[in-house]
Amino acid sequence: MTKRIGLGLAALFLAFSMAAQSPWARNKAGIYAQASYNFIPTYSTLFGVGGDDIVLDHEVSERQIQVYGEYGLTKKTTLILSIPVVFNERGASNPDSTLMFAQEDTGSISGLGNTMFAVRHQFLSGKVALAGTLRMGFPAGATYKPSTDLRTGYDAITIQPMVNVGMGFGKSYGFLYGSYGYRSNNYSHFINFGAEAGIRLGKVWLAGFSDFVYPLENGDRILPGIDVLTGLYVNDQGWLSIGAKAIWEITRFVGITVSGAGAAWAQNVPKSPGVGAGVYFKWD
């Protein structure tokens, strides 16, 4: 069994929206807007339950354009919106699969992923910042293609209340978060914990983060098996991700971000790392 570290699109999305997990509110009428291009290199293996691999009969690739924004409704309350447009493809046969000679459909799908809206309220703003965040994810907009097992997101509503706590130290920061996720349409619920810490070096912020998602396995939606075609947005996905990102503040208002994430443990997600880059504008 290969030991290559990787993780699917969920952690890739996380790498470019960690601001949604931070405990700091944006200034009143302050704006942050970011557009990013994220992708997972072509993969043909999933992390299976119990450490076993799930070998796909065709290669799969995932790409995403994401628009992410924050608006300071008041000096303590921030509105957050994320809109992903997803492009997924099922392509060449996998020579490692026992089914590589089977006549299976290839194809692609594109459309809206799981749009996310959130409200964050900062309760403490002194040396320690404490906030509560309520996130809501909406079902994916593209039609599922059964013959290729392609989809652009979860066919479910996700409601995720979260507690966020952190501290800033001038040229460094750190924060923690924890939440419970409810997902409709027979998907399992999940718990989610994570952390991020960063340091500023000139005009560049360097940060590391980790995110843990543990499915409670209380949903009866069909799990991937030996006949799974893509593993996209299936039930009981989980991971312990480790990632890093860099933010170059070109000016006070404009900057560039790059990020990547992999997994120390995972189940039912692709065995390939997530990588991407974005550009942002802010006005505080």
For the four alpha carbons of 214, 247, 137 and 108, in that order, the dihedral sign comes to: negative
pLDDT digits (tens, 9 = 90+) for 24-41: 999 999 999 999 999 998
| Residue 152: pLDDT over 70 | yes
User: Whole-angstrom Cα distance, residue 94 to residue 175?
Assistant: 41
pLDDT at position 6, please? 47
In this predicted structure, which of 106-110, 190-194, 199-203, 238-242 has the lowest mean pLDDT? 106-110
pLDDT class of 184 with cuts at 50, 70, 90: very high
Percent of the chain with pLDDT over 70: 87
User: Whole-angstrom Cα distance, residue 149 to residue 144?
Assistant: 7
Partners of 143 in the β-ladder: none
DSSP 13: H
CA distances to 11, 60, 80, 108 from 144, rounded to whole Å, are: 22, 15, 27, 11
- What does the pLDDT average to over 58-66? 92
- What does the pLDDT average to over 175-192? 97
pLDDT at position 149, please? 85
| Residue 92: pLDDT over 80 | no
| Residue 16: pLDDT over 50 | no
Q: Is 182 in contact with 205 (CB distance < 8 Å)? A: no
pLDDT class of 267 with cuts at 50, 70, 90: very high
pLDDT at position 57, please? 82
Structure tokens at 139: 């079902």
| Residue 10: pLDDT over 60 | no
pLDDT at position 33, please? 97
- From the number of C-beta atoms within 10 Å of its C-beta (0-12, 13-18, 19+), residue 50 rates as exposed
User: Whole-angstrom Cα distance, residue 90 to residue 99?
Assistant: 15
pLDDT at position 54, please? 86
Which domains are assigned to the chain? 9-96+107-283 (2.40.128.130)
Structure tokens at 195: 């952390």
pLDDT digits (tens, 9 = 90+) for 41-54: 888 889 988 878 88
DSSP 270: B
Partners of 200 in the β-ladder: 205
Give the DSSP letter string of 46-57: EEPGGG-EEEEE
For the four alpha carbons of 34, 122, 116 and 46, in that order, the dihedral sign comes to: positive
In this predicted structure, which of 163-177, 218-232, 254-268 has the lowest mean pLDDT? 218-232
